[in-house]
Amino acid sequence: MRTRPTLSWTPTEDLPAATTDLAPVVAALRAGGVLVLSGAGLSTESGIPDYRGERGSLTRHTPMTYQDFTGGAPARRRYWARSHLGWRVFGGARPNAGHRAVAALGRHGLLKGVITQNVDGLHQAAGSPDVLELHGSLDRTHCLSCGAYGTRRELAVRLRAANTGFAPVAAGLNPDGDADLTDAQVADFHVVPCAACGGVLKPDVVFFGETVPPERVARCRALVRDASALLVLGSSLTVMSGLRFVRQAAAEGTPVLIVNRDPTRGDPHALTRVALPLGAALTDVAARLGVPVDDEPAG
């Protein structure tokens, strides 16, 4: 099933006022059993831009949709050229203080789990176990013909060999690892096929306009059902893939708390929205709970 992607959201009602008071977040975590739902805003401090913030990538680029990717070779050439270049930066991103705080809270038994809308793998790199990747991960590939999975590292080696000397200067990096390049810059890029069958390779992520696998949604709903509270970190909740879990929690009487600097589509369902930078806010929360957060590794 294909759906029309939702790229923007405009409030149609007065939203509750935001706060800078972290006390409700601290209280919920102290009780334990909190489920985290994270979005692109959590990774901005790692150098990966978000979609819809003040400097979000949607102000300058339209992300690849499933319909475009499957619709023809030119779109796939454009995607893989831009993604191949962007991966060099994206793949080297490191967890920030927010990721490390979430991992520390999990190690201390205060979290039910982590659902992330991000495809960057930074929760796992910070040490969070059993992260449910709602939209998949950029470090894997999937063949649309035979179904084989591969690693992005393997694909990068093959793409480099097929595109010797490809090193254009990008205008920017996007949350999906896609670098901003012109049509002229990608015109001569060579896409490689699936090594197993020669079919079309796709990153193992859910594109805009593509649906999240039903079994993955069911796993998320079960986590929401069993959580004592839902803590949303860095998501505008514009797309239904994340918003539905906020609506589920609210309908089931589970408190929803949001930490996001900008208004979100989930604000009407939330007990509070804290408008603070995520890294500092989560580090502060952990400190109030007596949970030490690992320092950023040197090197």
Active-site residue list: 135
Residue with tokens 């090197």: 299
Beta carbons within 8 Å of 174's beta carbon, 6+ residues apart: 49, 57, 61, 63, 86, 180
| Beta strand pairing call for 136-143 and 149-151 | antiparallel
| Phi, psi dihedrals of residue 64, rounded to the nearest 5° | -60, 135
- Report the Cα 294 to chain-centroid distance in Å: 22
What is the DSSP secondary structure assignment for residue 290, as one 8-state letter?
Answer: T
| Beta strand pairing call for 111-116 and 201-205 | unpaired
The residue type at 31: A
| Beta strand pairing call for 229-233 and 256-259 | parallel
**Strand extents, DSSP E, 109-216:** 111-116, 131-133, 136-143, 149-151, 201-205
Q: Give the DSSP H or E segment for 231.
A: strand 229-233
